[in-house]
Amino acid sequence: MNGARLRERLNRGECLSMLTAHYASPGHAVRLTELGADAIFLDCEHGTWSFEDIRLTAQAIRGAGGTAIVRPDCHQRSLLIRYLNAGADALMVPMMETAAEARAIVDAVRYGCHADHGERLVIAMIETVAAIDRLDEMLAVEGVDVFFVGPGDLSQDMGFAPAPPFGEPRPQVVRDKVGEAVAKIYAAGKVAGTLATLAELPHWWKQGVQFFYVHSDPFLRRGMTELADLLAG
C-alpha cells in the first residue's frame, strides 16, 4: 500500500497533489498519475464507484506509482473496512466534527488492517463551522495524518453556494474561516489540506497547506475553451 509513502513525504514537508477521477475508469486514474498527480481521489460520496471499481482502480493506480484515496459517504465502520479491504491506500472521511469521531475512524482502520494499518493514510475532512470550533480537540487525536478543510461544504454550512461561478473566488468570510482552520492545524504541527484552484494554491502554500486537492475539470475546461476559440478563428 502506498499510504505510508505519502505520509513519509508529508512528514518531510513536501507539498502533494490529489486529482479527481470523475468517473469510474482505471485508465483515466492511471493517466492522471502518469501526468504527475501524487494521489487520485475516488469519491464514493458523490461518485458512482463500486467496491470492484475501487479494487481494480486502486491496483492500477499503485501500478503506476500513485496512491488511491477513497472518500466514503459516511462514517459507518463496516463500510470503511470494506473500502480498506478493497484496496484503498487512504480513507478521506467526510464531516468529521468531534474527537470521538476521529478516534473511531482511526480505530476502524487499525481494526480493519491489523497487520498493515501503518500503510494506510487517514484523512479527516473538516467541513463545518462546528468542526472548526472543536478542531483543537480533534488535532490531539493520534493517528490522523491529514486534516483537510473542505471549502465546498463549509460554504454551504455558512449559507453560501458550494462553489462560486467559474473563475471567481469564494466569499471572503468563507476564505477567512478556511484560513482560521489551516492556522490551527499548522500551529499544532499537523498536516493541513484543502481544495484549491491553481490561482489559490500559492496563497494556501504560504499559509502552511501541504496537501492540495485540485479538480481536473478546470484543465479540461480551459483546454476545450482554447480549442473552440482557435477553431472559431
Q: What is the mean pLDDT of residues 59-69?
A: 96
pLDDT of residue 23: 81
pLDDT given at position 230: 86
Q: What is the pLDDT of residues 122-164, one digit of tens each?
A: 999 999 999 999 999 999 999 999 999 999 999 999 999 999 8
Q: Which of 113, 106, 107 minimizes the C-alpha distance to 145?
A: 106
Average pLDDT, the chain: 94
- Cell numbers representing residue 180 in the block: 482560521
- pTM (two decimals): 0.94
Burial 48-77 (b: 16+ CB within 10 A, else e): ebeeebbbbbbebbbebebbbbbbbeeeee
Q: What CA dihedral angle connects 41, 43, 49 and 51, to 10 degrees?
A: 80
For residue range 8-35, what is the model confidence (pLDDT) as tens digits?
A: 999 999 999 999 987 888 999 999 999 9
What is the bridge-based pairing of β-strands 146-149 and 209-214?
A: unpaired
Q: What is the pLDDT of residue 227?
A: 80
| CATH fold of the domain at 3-232 | TIM Barrel (3.20.20)
Residue 219, pLDDT above cutoff 80: no
Q: Identify the pLDDT of residue 232.
A: 87
Rounded CA-CA distance 145/128 in Å is 19
Return the domain boundaries, the chain.
Answer: 3-232
Task: Pick the more confident residue, 142 or 232.
Answer: 142
Average confidence (pLDDT) over 64-77: 97
